[in-house]
Structure 1
Amino acid sequence: MNTLDQAVAALLAQVAEEVILPRFGRLNASQSEEKTPGDWVTIADRESEAILTDALLQLDADARVVGEEAASLDPSLIEAVARGRVWLVDPLDGTNNFADGREPFGMMVALVEDGVVQRGWIYAPMTKRLCFAARGAGAFIDGTRVTCGERPARQPIATYSNYWFSGADCAAIERKAAGTLDLRHGLRCAAAQYAALVDGTHDIARFERIYPWDHAAGSLFLTEAGGQVARPDGRLYALTDTGKGLLAAAASSLWERGAHVLGTVTD
C-alpha cells in the first residue's frame, strides 16, 4: 500500500471509531428513516459520508466524490461516475442491519478513473478488518495478499436475497439448486458479502441492486483475488449499469454453476 492507500485506510478506521461504532445499537427513532420502502438511512450514514467526502477531497483535490447519500438526493450524480477521477463512497453498507442493531455492516471506498476502478477499500468496523485491492497489483486482507478459487472438499455455498423474489421464483431457485449448491440467504451487506467470497466463507453470491458504490470496491477486490463478477446473463459489469442483477463468484467455474441456478431465476 502506498501513502494514499494508507491514508484512506486510516480515515475509514477513524470515522468508524468516532461516528459509526458509538451509534451501533444506540439509535433512537429520530436518527433513522426510510429513504424508500425497506431502504433505511441513519445519522451515522450521513455524518460519516460528510466527513469522508471532505477528507477524500483533501487527499486528492483533482477527484470528485460521489457518495451514496448524496446520490440518493441527486441521482444524476450516478451518470457522472464514469467520467474523470472519482471517489465512490458507501459510508455505511448494510444500513438495514446496522439500524436493527445487528451485523454485518461495513464501509467502502473506491477510486475510479474514467469508469475503471483503480483501487478499493472495504472496512469492517466491528472486527477492524481491511480488505484492499489495487488494479493489477492483487487483493489483500490486513496487508496479506489473498487469492480465491474452488473448494472441492465441499458443495459450493451460494447466497441470494430471497426477499427480492416472488414465492414462485424462490421455489424455482430451490429446485435448481438441489444437489448442486448449498443455498443460503444473503448477508444484506455487499461489503461483507464480497469479503466472504474471498475468505472462503461463501463461493457464489447473487446481488439484486447494482448501485456503483455497492460494487466498485468489492468487484475489484474479488477479481484481483481471482474471482469473477458479471451480470447474470454473462455481460461484463459496468459502474453505470442500471436495472437489477449481478452475479459474483470465487472462480469462473463457480460463476458458471451459479449462473445455471441464479442467472435466469424463473423456470
Structure 2
Amino acid sequence: MTPRDRQVRALLADVAREAILPRFGRMADGDREEKSPGDWVTIADRESELLLAAGLQAIDPDARVVGEEACALDPTLLEDIGRGRLWLVDPLDGTNNFAAGRTPFGMLIALAEDGIVRHGWLYDPVADRLCHAGRGIGSFVDGVRVSATGSGRSLPIATFSRYWMSSEKAARLEQRAQGTLALEEGLRCAAAQYPALVDGRCDVALFERTYPWDHAAGALFVEEAGGKVARLDGGPYRIDDAATGLLAAATPQLWDRAAAVFAE
C-alpha cells in the first residue's frame, strides 16, 4: 500500500468504529428516515460522512469533498463534479441493509481529477477488509493484487435489482436471459457487489441507478482487475454522466455476453 492508501484505510476503520459499527443492529427509533420511498438514511450515514470529510480534507486539502448526504441536501454540488480534484464519498453504502440489521454494507471513497477516477477504496467494516485500486496500477484486497476471472459456470451469474426497475422491465430481462445468464437478485450494496465480480461470486452486475458515489470506486476496482464497466451501449462510464443503466462484468467477454441480453 502507498502512504495515502494506508491513511485512507486508517480513516475508514476509525470512522466505522466510531459512527457505524456501534449502531449496527442497534438502531433506535428516530435514527433513520426515508429520503425517498424505499431509500433510507440513518444517523450513521450523516455522522460518518462528516467524519470522513474532515479526515479526507486533512489527507489532501487541495481536493474538495462531495458526499452522498451533502448532495441530498444540496444537489447543485453535483453540477461540476467533472472538473477539478475531488473526493467522492458514500459513507454508508447499503444503508437499507444496515438499517434492517443485516449485511452487506460498506464504505466507498474515490479520488477523481477532471471527471476521471484515479483511485478508489471499498471498505467492509464488518470484515475489516479493504479493496482498493489505482488507475494504471492494479486492484488489491488488503494489499494483495487480484485479478477477476469469473465464476467459471456454464451459465454466468448475473445480478440485478428488481427494486429499482419496473416489474415489466424485470420480466423482460428474465425472459431474455433464459438459457444465457443465471439471474440473481443483487446485494443492494455496490461496496459488496463490485468485489463479488472480482472474487468469482458473480460474473455480471446490472445497475439501474448510477450515482457517482456508488460506482466510482467499484468501477475502477473491477476495470483494474481486468473486468469491464460501461454503459449498455458500450460507452464509457463517467462520474459526471447522470444517465441510468450501467453494466459491469468480470471479463470483457462476459460483458459482451450480458450486453446482448440487457441492452434494450
Q: Which band: TM-score by shorter chain? A: over 0.9
1:179 equivalent to 2:179? Answer: yes
Distance 2:168 2:93 in 1: 29
Q: After the TM superposition, which residues 165-244 of structure 1 pair with which residues of structure 2 at under 5 Å, given as runs? A: 165-244=165-244
Q: How far apart in 2 are the matches of 1:108 and 1:259?
A: 26
Task: Structure 2 unaligned segments of length 5 or more: list them.
Answer: none
Q: One-letter code of the match for 2:247?
A: L
**Structure 2: distance between partners of 1:37 and 1:139:** 35
Contact 1:105–1:124 under 8 Å retained in 2: yes
1:6-36 CA distances to partner (integer Å, 9 max, x unpaired)? Answer: 1001110111112101000111220100111
**Residue 57 (1) aligns with residue 57 (2):** yes
Partner of 2:84: 84
Structure 1 residues 40 and 3: alpha-carbon distance in aligned structure 2, compared to 1, 3 A threshold: same
Bigger shift: residues 72-81 or 205-214: 72-81
Distance 1:247 1:239 in 2: 14
| Separation in 2, partners of 1:153, 1:185 | 17
The CA deviation at 1:166 is 2.7
**Shift in Å, 1:150:** 4.0
5+ long unaligned stretches in structure 1: none
After superposition, the C-alpha distances for 1:17-63 in whole angstroms (9 at most, x for unaligned) are 12101000111220100111111100000000000001110111111
Cα separation, 2, equivalents of 1:46 and 1:225:
31
Partner of 2:74: 74
Q: Following TM superposition, where does structure 1 have runs of at least 4 consecutive aligned residues deviating by more than 4 angstroms?
A: none
Identity %: 61
Equivalent residue, structure 2, for 1:22: 22
**RMSD, matched Cα:** 1.1
Shift of residue 180, structure 1, vs aligned partner: 1.0
Normalised by the length of structure 2, the TM-score is: 0.97
The answer to whether the aligner puts 1:161 opposite 2:161 as a matched pair is yes
The C-alpha deviation readout for 1:233-256, integer Å capped at 9, x for no partner, is 211111011131111000111111
